[in-house]
Amino acid sequence: MEYLSIVFQEVYKILFLLVPVLVSVAMIVWLDRRVWAFVQKRQGPNVVGPFGLLQSLADALKYIFKEIIIPSSSNKVIFILAPIVTMTLALIAWAVIPFSATQVLADINVGILYLFAVSSLGVYGIIMGGWASNSKYPFLGAIRSAAQMVSYEVSIGVIIINVLLCVGSLNLNDIVIAQQNMWFVIPLFPMFVIFFISALAETNRPPFDLPEAEAELVAGYQTEYSGMMYAMFWLGEYANILLMCAMGAILFLGGWLSPIDVYPFTLVPGAIWLILKILLLFILFALVKAIVPRYRYDQLMRLGWKVFLPLSLIWVVLTASYLFYFNLLPVN
């Protein structure tokens, strides 16, 4: 009985985290389209509800009532599993995101490794979907995205090492607290820029949206999907984008810390600061989508392996020698 009550408590906490995340994913789709529209001097979705806020809800209703078509030559089990995998992986990562010193679902020792592992598993949803569709365009999209996500993961990993050198712990709360005096975006600014661009590539956002490049590949790995399964791919993708924004906010922008450590700002709860920082990064993501044209595939690979990887490796050496020389290494 005691065990059951613990389980119920945890389930309640998980629901309290996941429901806001799902609602904010719907909101963020609307925000993305609005920002995109404003850059191009359009209005964007503004009809359903105030400012068009309920547009995503209307879209979701449309997807629910559409028929789910499963191609007869597809591998059915994997075809159905693919959107589920994408969605699940995008949601389980939120377990370790700290919203304040105490508001975190699982305050584990290896939080940043967990985040990195889950984001590197994200590629499976795409590969499974592309392969199981048993069709040319999805398969090409899946192959492209596998290569792309694996290459950009490497530079993200090296950037994380940079931050860890300054913190001395893999716990996400420790990473946030280590930025109390100065956010890491100031000393590690080049790494922040590289992290941001790698995050764009990791989440298949424009200008790196080659897996679903509509001009060449129809819709890439999503070509054969319809109805709610397509919507789940979509939701998973946006939840992943939010997650990368949260990761950027925690690693470089001080997570739940207030920007200035003075009286009226410290009253605002940490969760609100974190959400504001995630929103700031997301608006940058949306602006990039509106402004930058798509990369050519070989240029994308060159950028990942020949520019970002050496740069971030050199920066690791620089950070490590600086910390060592000035005796600033976080030894405990």
Partner 1 sequence: MIAHAIFFYTFSIIAVVSAIMVTASKNTVHSVFFLILDFISISCLFIMIGAEFLGMIMLIVYVGAVAVLFLFVVMMLNVAQQKNQWFAAKDSSKHIPVGLIISTLIFFEIIIVIGGWKYKPEIFDINNAIAQTSISNTHSLGQILYTDYIHVFQISGMILLVAMVGAIVLTFRHRSGVKRQSYIKQISRERAEAVEILEVQSNKGVKIDD
Give me the residues that bind partner 1 (CB under 8 A), please.
3, 78, 108-110, 113-114, 116-117, 120-121, 123-124, 127-128, 131, 139, 142-143, 146-147, 150, 153, 157, 170, 332
Token pair 């995630």 is found at: 278
CA distance 67 to 139: 23
Nearer to partner 1, 143 or 287 (CB): 143
One-character DSSP codes across 96-130: G--SSSS--S---TTHHHHHHHHHHHTHHHHHHHH
Nearer to partner 1, 120 or 135 (CB): 120
The torsion angles phi and psi of 286, rounded to 5 degrees, stand at: -65, -40
- Reduce the DSSP state of residue 155 to 3 states and report it: helix
Nearer to partner 1, 19 or 77 (CB): 77
Closest approach, Cβ 169 to partner 1, in A, equals: 8
Closest approach, Cβ 88 to partner 1, in A, equals: 12
Nearest partner of 28 among 234, 230, 207, judged by Cα: 234
Closest approach, Cβ 326 to partner 1, in A, equals: 20
Closest approach, Cβ 85 to partner 1, in A, equals: 11
Nearer to partner 1, 123 or 210 (CB): 123
Nearer to partner 1, 56 or 86 (CB): 86
Nearer to partner 1, 91 or 127 (CB): 127
CA distances in angstroms from 69 to 171, 218, 235, listed in the order given? 44, 17, 19
Closest approach, Cβ 23 to partner 1, in A, equals: 29
Nearer to partner 1, 117 or 314 (CB): 117
Closest approach, Cβ 152 to partner 1, in A, equals: 12
Closest approach, Cβ 112 to partner 1, in A, equals: 9
CA distance 30 to 147: 30
Helix axes 136-167, 227-252, angle to 10 degrees: 20
Q: Are 262 and 115 contacting, i.e. CB atoms less than 8 angstroms apart?
A: no
CA distances in angstroms from 49 to 27, 36, 76, 313, 323, listed in the order given? 12, 19, 38, 49, 53
